[in-house]
Each structure stands twice: as C-alpha cells, then as structure tokens.
Amino acid sequence: MTLKVKDYLQLTKFTLSFTVVFSCVICYLLVPGIVYDWTRIILLFVAGMLVTGSANTINQAAERETDALMKRTAARPVASGRMSANEAYGFAFITGFAGVWMMYVFFNAESALLSLISLLLYAFVYTPLKKVNSLAVLVGAFPGALPCLIGWVAGTGIINPFATLDVLGQQYTNMGGWALFALQFLWQFPHFWAIAWVAHTDYSKAGFKLLPSDKGPTRFTALQAIIYAVLMVPVGMLPYELGISGQVSLFVVLVCNLFIVFQCVRLYIEMDVKAARRVMFSSYIYLPIVLLALLADKM
C-alpha cells in the first residue's frame, strides 16, 4: 500500500504541483479585501493540487514510452510498468473532476472554468505538441501561469481585467490578477529553456522539441531567454503601479528580475550547461521570493 501511495504521489509530480499551487494561493491572498481564512486557504490548496496532479498524471500516461527512454523519468510508475496507463487515466479523471468541482462549490464558477481550461491545455495541447514544435513552450506557458489568475479569480469571482473591485468603499482594478499572470507567464521561458538546455541529450532521445533553435542549445536560445527576462522587469513593476503592493516589494522584485537578466546574459556569454543550470536554479528561487515579498508588502 505504501508503495502504491508513493506511485500516486509520483504521478502527480507532488513537488512541482506544490510549487504551482503555491502561486495560486499567494495570488488569492493578494486580492484586496481577502483575509487569512485557513479553511478556504486549505480548500484552495487541495483543489489546486488535485487539478494540477491530474494534468501531470495525464502527461505521464501519455508520455510513458518516451519517459522510458530518459534516465531521469524511466522510474516513473507508468513508464516503468508498475502501473497501467488505464489506471493512471482513471486516477487523473477522479482527481481532475474533484479539483474542478471543489473550485466551483467552494469558490466560484469562473475559477472552476479557468482550472478546467488549464488542465485541458496542459494535458491535451502542450503534452502532444512537445514532440511536434518548440511552440509547445509558448503553449505550455499559459497553463503554467494560469494558477496566478485562478487564485485571483477565486478571490474576486471576476475574470474581466477591466472590471472594478469595491472593497470597503475603496476602488481597485481587477487587472492585478492579469499582471501576476503575465509575470509568471514570462518567467517560464528562461526557466524552461534552461531546463531544456541542461536536459537536452535526454530530451533529444525522446524526440522533444523544447528549445527555440532546431540546432539545440545555441546563442539564439540564450538571446531569447534574455529577451523574456528583460520583459519581466517592467511587468514586475505592475503590482506596485496597480496598488497591490508597496515600494519594498517593488525593490525586491526589481532586484530579482535584474538578477535573472544577469544570469541569462551569462548564459549567452558562457554557452555551457553550468551557466544554464545557474539560470534554472535562479528561476526556482525567484518565484517564492517574489510572491512572498508581494504578499508581505500587500497594500
């Protein structure tokens, strides 16, 4: 039984799912007027884990043959043969349905709809596209960033970025959720390209096309990473400009964004796996620092 539980946790990519849901919960708490209700926070966390875990499970079931070819994924439950694809798909249906249902019942229909869209985009568009074209990274960036918007909409019930929120007589723009979505959307490009650079040999064996250049890790890839990192700088200022957070977090976000730009520039200069790994690890620590800074400095 313990081994089966471990297999299910591995199917959901628990650590990755936790990171994704962390963004969702923090963005929910950044909504003006939202208070720290631990019951609702836990409900949002569980629902997010179920939806994200479902998408990751479908990904592993669909990619079981290619996962078996790569050293880092060969031990996954379906790829290794410990679990059948049908069992994985059944688990994905149950968890996905439960997660979307929880978003609908405990939060609102809008956040449930966004959760369903995110799941379907990741599982049925991004996953098969990885073997077809490097545009998969662009497509995958949408479900990758949607948790920020889902968290925000779970708190507001409004998707329209031009709507106005009335909180205790104060007027706020609903564009805050879209600004957070945009920041995480841009962050994914240097993040995923750094991972694809480091794991290029493994990905090539599996037929995945995740780098923007057909020739593999090139200066063009590094340049693309720089461009998206630079775009993160002005977008990172939006939470302050929209009145979500204050000047302290503005400084923290600016420093973090410039640090990502710096690491991408180093990758362009050095052109090696070591530099790509620095971009990758920098991007891993970026999100928790930035999101927690925004929450700590919430207006």
- Average of pLDDT values for 250-270? 96
| 38-62 vs 109-121: helix crossing angle, rounded to 10 | 20
Tell me the pLDDT band of 216, cut-offs 50, 70 and 90.
Answer: confident
Q: Which pLDDT belongs to residue 168?
A: 67
Query: Among 60-69, 166-175, 285-294, which stretch is predicted with the lowest mean pLDDT?
Result: 166-175
State how far the Cα of 298 lies from the Cα of 200, in Å rounded to an integer: 40
Structure tokens at 97: 């349905």
Tell me the pLDDT band of 1, cut-offs 50, 70 and 90.
Answer: low
Q: Is the pLDDT of residue 45 over 70?
A: yes
Tell me the pLDDT band of 187, cut-offs 50, 70 and 90.
Answer: very high
If one compares 120 and 163, the residue with the highest pLDDT of the two is 120
> How many other CB atoms are found less than 10 A from the CB of residue 15?
9
Name residue 171's beta-bridge partners: 166
Indicate the average pLDDT of the chain: 90
Name residue 166's beta-bridge partners: 171
- Average of pLDDT values for 167-195? 89
Amino acid at 156: T
Q: Which of 69-78, 84-93, 221-230 has the highest mean pLDDT?
A: 221-230
- Average of pLDDT values for 136-163? 92
Q: What percent of the chain has pLDDT over 90?
A: 63
Q: Is the pLDDT of residue 163 over 90?
A: no
Q: Which pLDDT belongs to residue 40?
A: 96
Q: Is the pLDDT of residue 179 over 60?
A: yes
Give the strand pairing for 164-167 and 170-173.
antiparallel
If one compares 47 and 204, the residue with the highest pLDDT of the two is 47
State how far the Cα of 175 lies from the Cα of 160, in Å rounded to an integer: 8
pTM flag (> 0.85): yes
Q: Is the pLDDT of residue 3 over 90?
A: no
If one compares 144 and 72, the residue with the highest pLDDT of the two is 144
Structure tokens at 213: 């250049």
Residue in 295, 160, 191, 174 with CA at minimum distance from that of residue 242: 174
24-33 pLDDT tens trace:
999 999 999 8
If one compares 215 and 19, the residue with the highest pLDDT of the two is 19
> How many other CB atoms are found less than 10 A from the CB of residue 81?
9
